[in-house]
């Protein structure tokens, strides 16, 4: 009986707590930190924490508590961690995830608990169209966009025959569909490899036999490292164009090194984007963490700044409608320069053709060659019924 | 498929087969002689790769790094044998599987702590780093040819050791009937240790020579280990000759299957459907081969003589 009294008292104390809790802003972050894909989540974590540090630990002027969770790239783990964030820790925002399948896992528990969910990387089509949600924002891109951009580049460069290579899972199939949406030339072949493929010699032999003038490739993480190395060793790199997304970036370049120099990619940012905020960000990031930030770090940094702008504007997190409206306005200085949200809360932004370069100090990064799209919106937004 | 493509796929298949053989040789002896299921054998492959990258960073010379890596891989194998595995020989297979699986988790996490989760790479040794022109628009890396040659040399050496030396005789005898060999006054524990250390070193060697082709990352040996078990099942447990032939067979079937299955399906299916089904079927090819071999020869192609 005594225990019951104590726990009731504790429960009452908790009920009285919100007045106090309003002083602290609680943000839960669910990203992949372990295993080889953890390199991506580590970038996102570092980017977010750098932003917090620059804001003196106060996002939106409020004392901020960041709760970091590793989803281990397992759907059940991601879901239970997200659930504990919204139920036990009672966070105001959940920031996550890196991988789209993890986002699918945490989406429901977070959204149904009336918590804002902001994705710093995963941008699946699932929530971009008919199933868009007022409490869900994406600060990266809609997944298909990078591939659509590559399709346009292939047209503009006049590539007549393209060989396509991707891993055999949902994102791999989406990547090919995205590319083909814009690409008008002939497709030499479409080849799917198993996920986590080790030896690309069979595929490389087929590529060399295909008489294609460009290769479209989506090989994230360690697969990209192995492919680039073997592709370069085969001597094909000098003979055909290399159009990639998520295959040569700041997370894989430390391993790919010289083999990747000159290869092309397409995305929304590169560390040498010509604006003041990017210069300052890259310098501060390298100073603190000792490596060059990629898109994952940039998007997480932008996410923190977005939350900062919204919470400041709404004067706290009490009034959820005000916070939502302020998020939608995206009134912050993005590292990308132009940035706004579409009606489906996915970004409208510029896309660039990138090339891997070696810096004077021997480090590698992607570098912007030219702008491909100005204020590019995704193709699912019109199916979303939220007002502009 | 053109003839050059076929030729290249044959070379690729041989090269994969040789790597599989180096891993399977140790595995089949350990399993055959000691009746010990060592899931952690793939870990030795990974350790070899990490060590060669590490020593290369220290010395800047691939061959020196390779020798050092093999020496340390041997030492680590013997340490694992002395402190962990030797306690498991008398336990049943489930205990062995659980304990060695634990070793996998432990070592995978260990290399992550030491070298980080991102993949590492290492260039091939300078003299063998080039490519040679196979056809007009196709070059083939010299290092892959070197791997095939090295593998064939190691296979010859092993054949000599196993069939022409006293140690090899004891190993063969141990594979047939370990208890009887022990009863005849041979120190079977020491024999186990030598075999184990040698097997660990071979797997480490495989990892080291594979490092310039693949990326070096935590868990890199785990997939190959499964295929290596397929190899020893096909070849016959405890048989070096069986492991060699089965490894080449599996390497060829896997590599040729990956390119041929989709092409064959395209003859009577929509290209997009063939692209979906082909890779799935191709990754089953080696298991189908194993099932077929075991159906006709349940003990594998070359079972150790007299083994139960």
Q: Which residues of B touch A234 (CB under 8 A)?
A: 131, 138-141
Q: Which residues of B touch A226 (CB under 8 A)?
A: 119, 213-215
- For the cut 70, the answer to whether the pLDDT of residue A3 exceeds it is no
Contact call for A201 and B255, based on CB within 8 A: yes
Residue B184 CA from chain centroid, whole number = 32
Per domain, the residue ranges of chain A are 19-141+275-349, 145-267
Ranges assigned E (strand) in chain A: 24-31, 58-59, 62-70, 93-96, 116-119, 136-138, 161-167, 186-193, 214-217, 241-244, 264-267, 340-341, 347-358, 364-376
Q: Is the peptide bond before A133 cis (omega within 30 degrees of 0)?
A: no
Residue B19 lies in a domain: yes
Q: A106-121: buried (b, 16+ CB within 10 Å) or exposed (e) per residue?
A: bbebbbebebbbbbbb
Task: For residue B195, give the nearest of B176, B172, B179, B177 by alpha carbon.
Answer: B172
Q: Which CATH class is domain A19-141+275-349?
A: alpha beta
Contact call for A229 and B213, based on CB within 8 A: yes
Q: Which of B137, B217, B271 sits opposite A36 (nearest CB)?
A: B217
What ipTM describes this predicted complex?
Answer: 0.72
| Number of structural domains found in chain B | 1
The tokens of B166 are what?
Answer: 């006293």
- For the cut 90, the answer to whether the pLDDT of residue B283 exceeds it is no
Contact call for B118 and A251, based on CB within 8 A: yes
Which SS3 state, helix, strand or coil, does residue A216 take? strand
3-state DSSP helix/strand/coil percent for chain B, to nearest 5?
A: 75, 5, 20
pLDDT band at residue A383 under the 50/70/90 scheme: very high
Higher pLDDT, A174 or A212: A212
For residue B133, count CB atoms less than 10 angstroms from its CB and return exposed for 0-12, middle for 13-18, buried for 19 or more: exposed
CATH topology of domain A145-267: Rossmann fold (3.40.50)
Higher pLDDT, B4 or B92: B92
Residue B180 lies in a domain: yes
Q: Which of A193, A221, A233 sits opposite B279 (nearest CB)?
A: A193
Q: A197-226: buried (b, 16+ CB within 10 Å) or exposed (e) per residue?
A: bbbbbbbbbbbbbbebbbbbbbbbbbbbbb
Task: For residue A196, give the nearest of A236, A228, A234, A227 by alpha carbon.
Answer: A227
Contact call for B118 and A192, based on CB within 8 A: no
Q: Does the beta carbon of A367 lie under 8 angstroms from any beta carbon of chain B?
A: no
Q: Which residues of A touch B15 (CB under 8 A)?
A: 201
pLDDT (tens digit, 9 = 90+) per residue, A209-229? 888 999 999 998 888 999 998
Residue A241: strand pairing partners: A214
Residue B267 lies in a domain: no
The pLDDT, as a whole number, for residue A18 is: 44
Q: DSSP letter string over B144-194?
A: HHHHHHHHHHHHHHHHHHHHHSHHHHHHHHHHH-HHHHHHTT--HHHHHHH
Q: Which of A201, A221, A235 sits opposite B131 (nearest CB)?
A: A235
- For the cut 50, the answer to whether the pLDDT of residue A385 exceeds it is yes
The tokens of B211 are what?
Answer: 């490092």
CB A236 within 8 A of CB A263: no
The pLDDT, as a whole number, for residue A7 is: 54
Does this chain's domain A19-141+275-349 share its CATH topology with A145-267? yes
DSSP at A362: S
Across A9-23, average pLDDT: 49
Q: Which of B4, B124, B214 sits opposite A198 (nearest CB)?
A: B214
Tell me the pLDDT of chain A averaged across its residues.
90
Cα dihedral A374→A249→A190→B132 (10° resolution): 130
Which SS3 state, helix, strand or coil, does residue B140 take? strand
Shortest alpha-carbon distance between residue B257 and chain A (Å) = 10
- Helix or strand holding residue A152 (H, E): helix A144-157
Q: Does the beta carbon of B217 lie under 8 angstroms from any beta carbon of chain A?
A: yes
The pLDDT, as a whole number, for residue A255 is: 87
Q: Does the beta carbon of A210 lie under 8 angstroms from any beta carbon of chain B?
A: no
Task: For residue A157, give the nearest of A264, A236, A256, A297 by alpha carbon.
Answer: A264
Within 130-149 of B, beta carbons closer than 8 Å to A belong to 131, 137-141, 143-144
Residue B253 lies in a domain: no
Q: Does the beta carbon of A177 lie under 8 angstroms from any beta carbon of chain B?
A: no
Helix B41-59 × helix B93-115 angle, to 10°: 20
Residue B252 lies in a domain: no
**Residue-number span of the structural domain to which B72 is assigned:** 3-218
pLDDT band at residue B135 under the 50/70/90 scheme: low
Select the residue from B124, B206, B257, B258 to test the A interface by mutation, using most A Cβ atoms within 10 A: B258
Within 29-48 of B, beta carbons closer than 8 Å to A belong to none
d(CA A301, CA A277): 11
The pLDDT, as a whole number, for residue B305 is: 63
The pLDDT, as a whole number, for residue A241 is: 93
pLDDT band at residue A19 under the 50/70/90 scheme: very low
For residue B20, count CB atoms less than 10 angstroms from its CB and return exposed for 0-12, middle for 13-18, buried for 19 or more: buried
d(CA B104, CA B101): 5
Q: Which residue of A has its CA nearest to B2?
A: A209
CB A273 within 8 A of CB A335: yes
Q: A319-352: buried (b, 16+ CB within 10 Å) or exposed (e) per residue?
A: eeebbbebbbebebebbbeebebbbbbbbbbbbb
Residue B66 lies in a domain: yes
Task: For residue B42, give the nearest of A198, A192, A230 by alpha carbon.
Answer: A198
The pLDDT, as a whole number, for residue A388 is: 59
Q: Which residues of A touch B141 (CB under 8 A)?
A: 230, 233-234
pLDDT (tens digit, 9 = 90+) per residue, A304-324? 999 999 999 999 999 999 999
Residue A227 CA from chain centroid, whole number = 22
Across A350-369, average pLDDT: 95
Q: Which of B139, B215, B223 sits opposite A255 (nearest CB)?
A: B215
- For the cut 80, the answer to whether the pLDDT of residue A12 exceeds it is no
Residue B238 lies in a domain: no
The pLDDT, as a whole number, for residue A20 is: 44
> Is the overall model pTM greater than 0.95, yes or no?
no
The pLDDT, as a whole number, for residue A373 is: 94
Q: Which of A196, A234, A257 sits opposite B131 (nearest CB)?
A: A234
Residue B231 lies in a domain: no
Contact call for B137 and A239, based on CB within 8 A: yes
The pLDDT, as a whole number, for residue A368 is: 95
Tell me the pLDDT of chain B averaged across its residues.
87
The pLDDT, as a whole number, for residue A108 is: 95
């Amino acid at each position: 009986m005594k225990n019951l009294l104590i726990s009731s008292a504790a429960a009452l104390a908790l009920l009285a707590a919100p007045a106090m809790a309003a002083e602290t802003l609680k943000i839960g972050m669910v990203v992949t930190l372990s295993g080889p894909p953890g390199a991506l989540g580590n970038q996102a974590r570092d980017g977010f924490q750098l932003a917090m540090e620059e804001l003196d630990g106060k996002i939106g002027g409020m004392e901020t508590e960041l709760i970091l969770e590793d989803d281990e790239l397992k759907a059940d783990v991601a879901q239970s961690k997200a659930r504990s964030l919204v139920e036990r820790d009672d966070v105001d925002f959940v920031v996550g995830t890196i991988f789209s399948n993890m986002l699918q896992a945490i989406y429901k528990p977070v959204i149904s608990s009336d918590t804002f969910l902001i994705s710093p990387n995963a941008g699946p089509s699932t929530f971009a169209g008919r199933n868009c949600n007022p409490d869900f924002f994406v600060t990266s891109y809609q997944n298909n966009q990078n591939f659509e951009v590559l399709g346009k580049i292939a047209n503009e460069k006049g590539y007549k025959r393209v060989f396509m290579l991707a891993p055999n899972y949902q994102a791999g199939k989406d990547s090919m569909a995205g590319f083909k949406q814009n690409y008008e030339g002939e497709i030499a072949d479409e080849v799917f490899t198993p996920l986590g493929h080790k030896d690309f010699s069979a595929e490389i032999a087929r590529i060399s036999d295909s008489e294609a003038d460009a290769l479209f490739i989506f090989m994230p993480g360690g697969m990209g490292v192995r492919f680039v190395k073997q592709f370069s060793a085969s001597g094909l790199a000098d003979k055909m164009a290399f159009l990639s997304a998520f295959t040569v970036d700041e997370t894989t370049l430390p391993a790919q090194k010289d083999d990747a120099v000159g290869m092309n990619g397409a995305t929304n940012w590169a560390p040498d984007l010509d604006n003041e905020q990017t210069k300052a960000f890259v310098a501060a990031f390298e100073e603190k963490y000792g490596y060059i930030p990629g898109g994952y770090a940039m998007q997480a940094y932008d996410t923190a700044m977005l939350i900062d702008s919204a919470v400041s504007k709404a004067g706290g997190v009490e009034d959820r409608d005000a916070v939502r409206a302020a998020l939608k306005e995206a009134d912050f200085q993005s590292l990308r320069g132009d940035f706004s949200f579409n009606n489906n809360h996915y970004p409208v932004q510029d896309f660039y053709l990138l090339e891997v370069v070696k810096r004077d100090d021997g480090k590698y990064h992607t570098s912007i060659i030219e702008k491909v799209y100005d204020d590019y919106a995704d193709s699912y937004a019109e199916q979303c019924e939220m007002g502009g | 498929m053109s003839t050059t493509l076929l030729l290249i796929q044959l070379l690729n298949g041989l090269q994969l087969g040789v790597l599989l053989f180096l891993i399977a040789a140790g595995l089949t002896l350990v399993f055959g002689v000691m009746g010990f299921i060592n899931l952690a054998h793939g870990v030795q492959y990974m350790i070899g790769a990490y060590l060669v990258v590490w020593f290369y960073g220290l010395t800047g010379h691939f061959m020196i790094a390779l020798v050092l890596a093999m020496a340390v891989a041997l030492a680590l194998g013997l340490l694992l044998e002395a402190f962990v595995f030797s306690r498991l020989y008398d336990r049943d297979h489930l205990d062995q599987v659980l304990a060695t699986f634990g070793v996998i988790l432990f070592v995978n996490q260990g290399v992550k702590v030491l070298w980080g989760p991102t993949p590492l790479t290492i260039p091939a040794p300078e003299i063998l780093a080039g490519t040679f022109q196979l056809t007009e628009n196709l070059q083939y890396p010299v290092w892959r040819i070197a791997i095939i040659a090295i593998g064939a040399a190691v296979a010859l050496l092993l054949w000599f050791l196993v069939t022409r030396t006293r140690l090899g005789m004891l190993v063969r005898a141990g594979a047939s009937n370990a208890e009887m060999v022990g009863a005849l006054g041979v120190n079977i524990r020491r024999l186990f240790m030598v075999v184990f250390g040698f097997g660990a070193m071979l797997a480490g060697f495989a990892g080291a020579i594979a490092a310039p082709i693949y990326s070096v990352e935590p868990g890199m040996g785990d997939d190959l280990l499964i295929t290596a078990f397929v190899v020893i099942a096909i070849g016959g447990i405890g048989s070096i000759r069986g492991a060699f032939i089965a490894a080449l067979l599996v390497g060829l079937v896997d590599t040729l299957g990956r390119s041929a299955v989709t092409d064959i399906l395209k003859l009577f299916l929509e290209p997009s459907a063939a692209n979906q089904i082909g890779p799935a079927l191709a990754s089953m090819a080696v298991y189908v081969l194993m099932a077929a071999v075991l159906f006709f020869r349940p003990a594998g192609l070359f079972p150790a003589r007299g083994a139960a």
